[in-house]
Structures are given as structure tokens and as C-alpha cells.
Amino acid sequence: MASSTAAYDARAAEYIAALGSMDAVHPTDRAIVDAWATTVRGRVLDAGCGPGHWTAHLAGLGCDVRGIDIVPGFLTHARAAYPGIPFDVCSIDTLDVPDGSVDGILSWFSTIHHEPFAIGAPMREFARVLCPGGTLLLGFFSGEHVEAFAHAVSPAYRWPPTNLHRLLDAAGFDVVETQVRETRGARPVGSILCARRSAS
């Protein structure tokens, strides 16, 4: 992920100007995240928070939320724009969070640059830090096959929802709901809501 981090950091100001506010969020995405946020009771982790606008939005909804990212330019902006909300440098592959200590995780397009052989790492970490019954809301680019495509910042991947379902199941999640949005002129995107399975 080092190359993706460097690429985002080099274009952080450009990214923030184009996409780093809730005004740039699709209304359907906002409705999905808002509906999920109302169900979370306890600590929330915005995993791969970028410029922090989703973190601040969740805080405004009453969530006890912390944002993490590995792009310094994003965190510098987030701390200045949203004082009072904790933002920390942390990789979603190795979370600095105790086992079972989080009630909800928002991973909104934060795994899109993970290669297929590597995407299991953050999913296992999400499962590790969530309490049993805690929920993960995952945003992703949808496609008929697992395949790389030329993203503006760094190569990214499309995933069929069923493939992600299998990976989430293996990590310890039960899928609750999946949504895919296809809009003319835009890449298909999806979201998966899943719950951390209780230990048997």
C-alpha cells in the first residue's frame, strides 16, 4: 500500500477539493451510512477516513467516532477542519485497537486499492476489533469479475459482491444486506452491511 499512500499524499489537496466534503457525497450513499449509524451503540471507527468528512458527519449524528488513515495530508486537513475529533495515523491492515472493543466500523472505499491476495488482512482486522454483533459497513467498486482498473490516484479493484461475501464469511462476518448502484456515466458501486459473528 506504500505506493497508494504516496500517490494520495501527493494529490491530497486536489482530492480534498473535489471529494473531501459531504456536499460531494451521493445522496444514496449518505442515506445508507446514516441508516447504519442509527443502529450503532458504542465506539465507531472510520477506517480509512481520508479528509475526515465522514468522520465528522458521524460525530454530528452522535457517534463516538475515531478516524484513522495512512495519508499524512488527509490527516493534517482532518485535524484542522474538525477539531475535537480524534484522527490518528494507522493502517487498516494492522489496527492499533484492542480485540472486541469497537461496535461499528465504516470502511467506505478504503479497501479498493488492496490486491486480491491482500484484501483479507483488513477484513480479519475488522473482525478482530469488533465486538460480537458489531457491524461493518463496507463500500466498494462493483463489477462482474475481480479486476483492476485505472483509478485516478492508484490502481483499484472491482469486486463482485458474492466474492466479497465469501471473504467476509471467512473473516467471521454474517452478511446482512448488500446494495449495488449503477448510474449512467459512473462506475458501479456497492455497499455491504455485515455483522461480526459470535464465537461458537
CATH code of the domain in which 29 resides:
3.40.50.150
Query: Could you give the CA distance from residue 8 to residue 108 in angstroms, rounded to a whole number?
Result: 16
pLDDT at residue 31, as a whole number: 98
Taking only the tens place, the pLDDT of each residue in 141-168 is 999 999 999 887 778 999 999 999 999 9
| β partners of residue 137 | 106, 193
**Residue 1 grid coordinates:** 500500500
More confident residue, 19 or 25: 25
Residue 1 in this model has a pLDDT that exceeds 60: no
How many structural domains comprise the chain?
Answer: 1
132, 139, 88: which is closest to 111 by C-alpha? 139
pLDDT at residue 3, as a whole number: 65
Residue 11 in this model has a pLDDT that exceeds 60: yes
More confident residue, 34 or 155: 34
Q: What separation in angstroms does the CA of 34 have from each of 17, 38, 121, 192?
A: 23, 6, 27, 14
**Residue 127 grid coordinates:** 473482525
pLDDT at residue 2, as a whole number: 58
Residue 6 in this model has a pLDDT that exceeds 80: no
State what percent of residues in the chain have pLDDT above 90.
84
State what percent of residues in the chain have pLDDT above 70.
97
97, 92, 75: which is closest to 16 by C-alpha? 75
Taking only the tens place, the pLDDT of each residue in 45-103 is 999 999 999 999 999 999 999 999 999 999 999 999 999 999 999 999 999 999 999 99
**For the chain, what is the mean pLDDT?**
93
**What is the residue range of 172's domain?**
2-196
